[in-house]
Amino acid sequence: MKPDISFNGISMNDLGWLRESISFPAPKSQSDTVVVPGRDSPIRFTEALGRVSYQQRSFTVTLTMLGDRERFNAMSTEVINRFSGRLVKVILSEETDLYAVGTVEAEPSYDPLTGKGQIVFSCEDGDAYRYHTEETVVTKTGGGKVTLSNDFMPVVPKIKTTAETAFAWKIGSDSFRKSVSAGEWIFPELELQSGMNAVTLTGTGTTTFTYREGRL
C-alpha cells in the first residue's frame, strides 16, 4: 500500500500526490532552569506544576508528482488554496487512529528538467499531543465502580447523568467527592491520568463519560 496522508479527511493520494517524506519529531518539554551560585546543580522547573508540559509541535510533509508544468500548476493550486494557512487535521495512513492538529504553510517547487513537482507543507504551531480519532465513551447504569482507561495525555471527561448521582475518586493521596443532579457536567478535579482511573458512583440513573485521549 502506498503511504498516504490526509488533511481534514482529504487523501493526498486521491488528489494525485505521492507522500515522499514526513517528519514528525516529538515536541520538546517546556523546561526552565535557574543557576544559583554555590549550588552544584540548577533548580529545574520542568515539573513545577506536577507534570511535564510541552512546546508546540513542528512537522513537515513533502508531496511530489511527475508531469508537465501545466499539470503541476493545476494540482498545486488546488491543494494550496485548500490548505495553506489553515488549521488542518493530519492523519497518516500508518496510524489512522491518531491525528495531529496545526496550521500548515505551503512551499511549491518544480524542476522542468525532471518534470518533478514538489510541495512541502510545514507547521510550527501544532498541538503537542496527537489525538485519538474516536472519542472514548464509557456508560454506567446505577451505582458501583467504573474504570476509565486513558492514554498518556491528561484529560478531563464530559459527564452526563440522567438522575442525581454522587461521585467519589482519588488522585494520588487526595480524595474527591461530588454530588450533582441530572444534567451535563465537567469536574476540573477529575483529570484522568495515564492508565486506569477508578470512579465510584452512587445513584440509580445512567452516567456517561466522554473524553478524547491523546499521546505525543
Of the residues 132, 150, 174, the one at which a domain ends: 132
Domain containing 198 — which CATH number? 2.60.120.260
Are 80 and 184 part of one and the same domain? no
pLDDT digits (tens, 9 = 90+) for 59-70: 999 999 999 999
Are 142 and 104 part of one and the same domain? no
**Interatomic CA distance for residues 8 and 24, integer angstroms:** 17
Query: What pLDDT score was predicted for residue 30?
Result: 78
Are 87 and 159 part of one and the same domain? no
Are 123 and 142 part of one and the same domain? no
Are 151 and 200 part of one and the same domain? yes
Are 111 and 17 part of one and the same domain? yes
Are 71 and 33 part of one and the same domain? yes
Say what the pTM is: 0.87
Structural domain containing residue 194 = 136-215
Mean pLDDT of 22-30: 89
pLDDT digits (tens, 9 = 90+) for 84-99: 999 999 999 999 999 9
pLDDT at position 49 over 70: no
Are 83 and 144 part of one and the same domain? no
* Domains identified in the chain, total number: 2
Mean pLDDT of the chain: 93
Of the residues 112, 132, 152, the one at which a domain ends: 132
pLDDT at position 52 over 90: no
**Interatomic CA distance for residues 97 and 103, integer angstroms:** 20
Domain containing 24 — which CATH number? 2.40.30.200
Are 16 and 95 part of one and the same domain? yes
What cell was used for 4? 498516504
**Interatomic CA distance for residues 134 and 160, integer angstroms:** 18
CA nearest 212: which of 138, 142, 118, 140? 138
